[in-house]
């Protein structure tokens, strides 16, 4: 088969096979015209062979160019994919930066404030009669709350004394100092009385040394019987060198006032005694050793409650130079594993954990120290607990019902869910405003039913709260929360996924009246650890961490009962050193009933006033919603 050249209409010559199939373009027609074609067959064959060689070479070059273009296109796609990933990373980092800046410089309070784009709650097109009745009742209640608040405000203004007329408590000791005119200015004047001005003074704490003399008697007739002396009581430390009051001061200053030992040295030095830090540490250890059985008893009593909240925070633990003796420690396996790994890797410290437990109904709290954030901690403390556990959706909590054979039921915290949604406000203002309006309604219901008995509270939750929860679920599945409006990997998409995944646990408060809607009480409890951590900074050993947990258990429970912490610790410490083991009589709630003079009434008043202000704010908001025609 021979190929013959054919002139194209574009002015170029193509090489074609006899059947008309295209072989290749030869060269420009103008070039063909400038040089005549050969007449003999051999010359034609040579020309065709030459042209075929050129065509093959051009085809090879075209193939290389196509391959190069394909590689470049692939590189462009890879660069585009890398660029998209970098864009996602930049967005993620910007969100993290915004979150960190908010944590550093933003509002610390989580109280919701109406902002731009904030929506009022709409309870659906056809709310049930129970919901309508509850709304009408809420409006009537709101009007009454606002009226009572205004009346109370007027009464407080009338009763408020002038600054000069305020008196200090009568039980404070007083002494008088008379300021008179000079004698030469009193001539011809008659004294008609005095203007009294009360000025409060403060002096440094007074330290006294008690010298106790124990009588010694000897048998004169029979010296072999030895010396007879009165029985000596058990002291806080060997030799009874420090009274219980010193131990109470050291412990209260550290875990109630959050003063580390080096600051306590300055306070004691101001009173004339400068102890070493090791002495203060030994005193703390002695107090904890005496009160440890009471702290363990408080933990056991706390677990008698139906619902317990749990939260945790990190504490720095100094890595020991050598493994301590853990042969009798109940958690020796886990502690040994963590410490051995830290020693092997040469870590100077590890992040241990302090856990807080908050009883829903009983006025008790408890703390526990672990060397890591491992589920062994809650599993160990709650090993004999039967009831509800409320907390964040940490993986260790989620499966606790499986590990406990349904003895413990996990309930999720709505404050955590709301916090995740609120972090998306800048990027999704409309969706966040709608979701927060619905969540706010859940809290409105809780505010209305908090004074009801368990049966009525549960009934309201199952009617009102369930209705609002259905609206939240409906909105999460609506078009406004789906792609492309909200991408699954966006911050709001992740927050919505969090709510969807833990929906059953978030709704559990509607199944038991003892379950609170959130775990805020326990989270606030952990502030004591966070504040102390900024002062004493770290724990030097596992034993020191466990001592802190026991002392925080007692101090935290006393605070929850509004007790004078020092008076409570002083009394129970002296009773414990005296050999008393009736722990039920030394619980804060029992001690409170016997010592009303040591109750800090102003703390209860502060909480009551804060609750009244919150109820008034919510009542005004309900009335505002009514005036704007919103439900």
Strand partners, 408: 387
**Which stretch of 221-225, 242-246, 325-329 has the lowest confidence by average pLDDT?**
221-225
Decide: helix, strand or coil at residue 410: strand
**Number of helices and strands (H, E) in the chain?**
22, 11
Q: Which helix (H) or strand (E) holds 254?
A: helix 244-255
Which of 55-64, 141-150, 220-229, 587-596 is predicted with the least confidence, judged by mean pLDDT? 141-150
pLDDT confidence of residue 423: 87
Q: What is the DSSP letter of 461?
A: I
pLDDT in tens, 124-181: 555 566 666 666 666 777 677 777 777 777 776 666 555 555 688 888 899 999 999 9
Distance CA 622, CA 631 (A): 8
d(C-alpha 420, C-alpha 265), whole Å: 44
Task: Band the pLDDT of 233: cuts 50, 70, 90.
Answer: confident
Q: CA 593 to CA 607: how far, in whole Å?
A: 20
99 or 607, greater pLDDT = 607
Q: What is the mean pLDDT of residues 461-486?
A: 92
Supply the pLDDT for residue 161: 56
Lowest mean pLDDT among 22-36, 328-342, 599-613: 22-36
pLDDT band at 582 (very low <50, low <70, confident <90, very high): very high
Helix %, strand %, coil % of the chain (to 5): 55, 10, 35
| C-alpha 556, offset from chain centre | 17
Residue 397 has pLDDT above 80, yes or no: yes
Of residues 118 and 377, which shows the higher confidence score?
377
Residue 5 has pLDDT above 60, yes or no: no
Indicate the Cα dihedral angle 76, 77, 82, 83, nearest 10°: 70
Q: What pLDDT score does 100 carry?
A: 79
pLDDT confidence of residue 56: 82
Alpha carbon distance 157, 368 (integer Å)? 47
Task: Outline where DSSP puts E strands in 430-478.
Answer: none
Average pLDDT, integer, range 497-520: 95
Calculate what percentage of the chain has a pLDDT beyond 70.
Answer: 86
Give residue 459's pLDDT band: very low, low, confident or very high (50, 70, 90): very high
Higher pLDDT, 89 or 540: 540
Structure tokens at 524: 């606030």
d(CA 432, CA 492): 8
pLDDT tens track for 284-328: 999 999 999 999 999 999 999 999 999 999 999 999 999 988 888
pLDDT of residue 224: 82
Secondary element (H or E) of residue 349: strand 349-359
Under a CB-based contact definition with an 8 Å cutoff, are residues 377 and 370 in contact?
yes
Q: Give the pLDDT of residue 29.
A: 40
Nearest to 312 by CA among 363, 364, 272, 371: 371
And the tokens for 573? 């410490």
Is a pLDDT exceeding 70 seen at residue 527? yes
How many angstroms separate the CA atoms of 618 and 447, rounded? 9
> 452: phi > 0 → left, psi -120 to 50 → alpha, else beta; which?
beta
**Residue 448: pLDDT band with limits 50, 70, 90:** confident
Average pLDDT along the chain: 85
Looking at per-residue confidence, does 467 or 42 come out higher? Answer: 467
Backbone φ and ψ of 367, nearest 5°: -130, 155
Better-predicted residue by pLDDT, 580 or 11: 580
pTM: 0.78
Instruction: List, in order, residues 6 or more apart from 572 with CB less than 8 Å away.
Output: 291, 294, 554, 586, 591
Reply yes or no on whether the pLDDT at 117 is more than 50: no
Look at residue 78 and tell me whether its pLDDT is greater than 70: yes
Range in 111-120, 450-459, 562-571 with the lowest mean pLDDT: 111-120
- Position 32 scores a pLDDT of 44
Q: CA 433 to CA 499: how far, in whole Å? A: 16
pLDDT at position 220? 85
Measured in Å, how far apart are the chain's first and last C-alpha atoms? 91
Place of tokens 């030994």: 282
Question: Following DSSP, what letter does each residue of 195-229 receive, concatenated?
Answer: ---------PPPP----PPPP-EE-SS-GGG-EE-
Contact 380, 488 (CB under 8 A): no
User: Is the pLDDT at 510 greater than 50, yes or no?
Assistant: yes
What does the pLDDT read at residue 563?
96
Q: Which tokens sit at 334?
A: 């886990």
Give the confidence band of 478 by pLDDT, cuts at 50, 70, 90. Answer: very high
> Per-residue confidence at 15, pLDDT binned at 50, 70, 90?
very low
- Over the stretch 583-597, which tens digit does the pLDDT of each residue have? 999 999 999 999 999
What are the backbone angles phi and psi of residue 316, rounded to the nearest 5°? -75, 130
Q: What is the pLDDT of residue 451?
A: 85
The more confident residue out of 22 and 53 is 53
């Amino acid at each position: 088969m021979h190929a013959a050249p054919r002139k194209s209409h574009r002015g170029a010559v193509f090489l074609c096979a006899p059947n008309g199939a295209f072989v290749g373009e030869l060269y420009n027609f103008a070039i063909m015209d400038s040089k005549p074609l050969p007449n003999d067959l051999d010359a034609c064959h040579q020309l065709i062979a030459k042209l075929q060689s050129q065509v093959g070479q051009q085809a090879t070059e075209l193939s290389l160019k196509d391959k190069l273009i394909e590689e470049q296109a692939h590189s462009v796609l890879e660069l585009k994919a890398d660029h998209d990933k970098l864009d996602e990373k930049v967005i993620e980092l910007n969100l993290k930066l915004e979150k960190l800046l908010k944590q550093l410089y933003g509002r610390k309070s989580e109280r919701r404030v109406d902002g731009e784009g904030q929506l009022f709650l709409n309870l659906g097109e056809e709310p049930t009669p129970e919901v309508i009745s509850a709304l009408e009742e809420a409006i009537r209640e709101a009007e009454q709350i606002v009226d009572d608040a205004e009346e109370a405000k007027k009464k407080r203004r009338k009763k408020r004394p002038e600054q000069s007329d305020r008196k200090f408590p009568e039980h404070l000791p007083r002494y008088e100092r008379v300021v008179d005119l000079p004698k030469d200015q009193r001539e011809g004047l008659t004294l008609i009385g005095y203007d009294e001005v009360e000025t409060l003074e403060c002096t440094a704490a007074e330290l006294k040394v008690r010298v106790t003399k124990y009588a010694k008697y000897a048998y004169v007739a029979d010296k072999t019987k030895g010396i007879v002396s009165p029985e000596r009581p058990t002291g806080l430390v060997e030799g009874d060198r420090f009274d219980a009051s010193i131990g109470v001061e050291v412990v209260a200053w550290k875990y109630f006032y959050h003063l580390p030992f080096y600051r306590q040295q300055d306070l004691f030095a101001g009173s004339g005694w400068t102890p070493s830090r090791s002495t203060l540490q030994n005193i703390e250890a002695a107090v904890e050793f005496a009160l440890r059985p009471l702290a363990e008893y408080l933990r056991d009593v706390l677990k008698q409650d139906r619902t317990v909240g749990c939260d945790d925070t990190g504490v720095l633990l100094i890595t020991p130079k050598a493994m301590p003796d853990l042969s009798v420690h109940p958690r020796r396996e886990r502690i040994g594993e963590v410490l051995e790994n830290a020693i092997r890797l040469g870590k100077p410290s590890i992040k241990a954990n302090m856990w807080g437990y908050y009883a829903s109904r009983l006025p008790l709290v408890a703390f526990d120290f672990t060397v890591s954030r491992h589920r062994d901690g809650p599993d160990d403390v709650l090993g004999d607990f039967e009831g509800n556990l409320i907390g964040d959706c940490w993986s260790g909590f989620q499966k606790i019902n499986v590990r406990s054979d349904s003895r413990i039921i996990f309930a999720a915290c709505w404050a955590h869910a709301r916090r995740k949604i609120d972090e998306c406000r800048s990027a999704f203002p409309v969706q966040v405003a709608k979701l927060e309006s619905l969540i706010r309604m859940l809290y409105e219901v809780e505010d209305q039913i908090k004074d009801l008995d368990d049966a009525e509270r549960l009934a309201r939750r199952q009617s009102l709260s369930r209705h609002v929860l259905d609206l939240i679920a409906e909105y999460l599945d609506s078009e406004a929360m789906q792609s492309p409006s909200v991408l699954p990997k966006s911050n709001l998409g992740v927050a919505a996924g969090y709510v969807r995944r833990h929906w059953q646990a978030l709704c559990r408060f509607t199944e038991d009246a003892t379950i609170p809607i959130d775990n805020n009480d326990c989270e606030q409890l952990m502030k004591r650890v966070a504040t102390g951590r900024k002062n004493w900074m770290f724990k030097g050993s596992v034993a020191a961490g466990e001592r802190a947990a026991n002392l925080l258990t007692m101090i935290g429970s006393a605070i929850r009962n509004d007790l004078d912490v020092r008076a409570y610790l002083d009394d129970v410490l002296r009773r414990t050193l005296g050999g008393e083991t009736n722990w039920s009589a030394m619980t804060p709630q029992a001690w409170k009933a016997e010592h009303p003079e040591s109750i800090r009434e102003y703390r209860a008043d502060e909480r009551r006033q804060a609750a009244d202000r919150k109820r008034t704010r919510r009542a005004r908001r309900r009335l505002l919603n009514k005036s704007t025609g919103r439900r």
